[in-house]
Structure 1
Amino acid sequence: MAAILNRLQSFLQRARARLNHWLRPPYRTVIARDSLPKKLKRKTIYVVEDDGFEEQAAMLCPCGCRRVLHMNLLPDERPCWRLTRHRDGTASLHPSVWRKKDCSSHFWFRHGRVEWCRQIDT
């Protein structure tokens, strides 16, 4: 009986997390010409364009540490991300964003939403 209750509780926690994820409003996409603003807003991804070319995407780290994450969008430099803008006004980044230091956040940014990656301790 305890095992069934534990499984049910685990299922409900996962369902609640998924529901909360989709009920939260997506990140806004803001196009910045030439450079980023001095202060970035939460729940906003900024795309810096210069001469019609997307150069970088930037956002505050979604973990809450308030660090600015910069993702290079120029294909001839490494590492490089690909930004896709969708018809509904949201954006996606590929591949995932993984901070190797400080907060160690690891997430996918899809359709304006953060999808956290699970890490397996080795």
Structure 2
Amino acid sequence: MRGAYRRIHNWIVPPYATLLVEDTLPKQLKRRTLYIVEEDGFQEQAAMICPCGCHSVLHMNLLPDERPCWRVTRHDDGTTTLHPSVWRKKDCGSHFWFRNGRVVWC
């Protein structure tokens, strides 16, 4: 049943939007949006509002010289994938994969 629910949910709810921003994040982030911050042609961080509903802003480092580090893949359909999973080890404790613009809970 979980698989059927997931397929229906993915059909009804559109994927997250991905916005590329220069230098800094906007002061107010939109829900269901993944922001990619670029500076001087380099992707520095990804940010989003936590999908659990706690309203915290999640920041994922994209610079390979720093740890932890995530990779971003942009797909032909306009969606984005982050690798590895995002796991908040404090506060809400959310743990999820962000694949093709969708949150897949662990």
TM-score by length of 2: 0.95
- Sort the Cα spacing of 1:17 and 1:88 in 2 relative to 1 into closer, same or farther, 3 A: closer
The aligned length equals: 106
Q: Which has the larger radius of gyration?
A: 1
2:22 to 33, 43, 56: 33
1:94 to 64, 83, 92: 83
1:52 maps onto 2:41 in alignment: yes
Shift of residue 16, structure 1, vs aligned partner? 1.9
CA distance in 2: counterparts of 1:14 and 1:114, whole angstroms:
14
Secondary structure of residue in 2 paired with 1:17:
helix
Which digits, 9 at most, give the CA deviation of each residue in 1:30-73, with x for residues without a partner? 00100000000000000000000000000000001000000000
Structure 1 unaligned spans of 5+: 1-10, 118-122
Let me know the Cα RMSD of the aligned residues: 1.1
Which digits, 9 at most, give the CA deviation of each residue in 1:93-116, with x for residues without a partner? 000000001110000000000000
Q: Which structure has greater helix proportion?
A: 1
Bigger relative contact order (CA 8 A; separation at least 6): 2
2:70 to 67, 81, 87: 81
Match of 2:55 in 1: 66
Q: Report the more deviating stretch, 79-88 or 13-22.
A: 13-22
Shift of residue 83, structure 1, vs aligned partner? 0.4
Structure 2 unaligned spans of 5+: none
Shift of residue 14, structure 1, vs aligned partner? 4.2
Dislocated runs of 4+, deviation >4 Å: none
Shift of residue 15, structure 1, vs aligned partner? 1.6
CA distance in 1: counterparts of 2:6 and 2:36, whole angstroms:
29
Match of 1:21 in 2: 10
TM-score by length of 1: 0.83
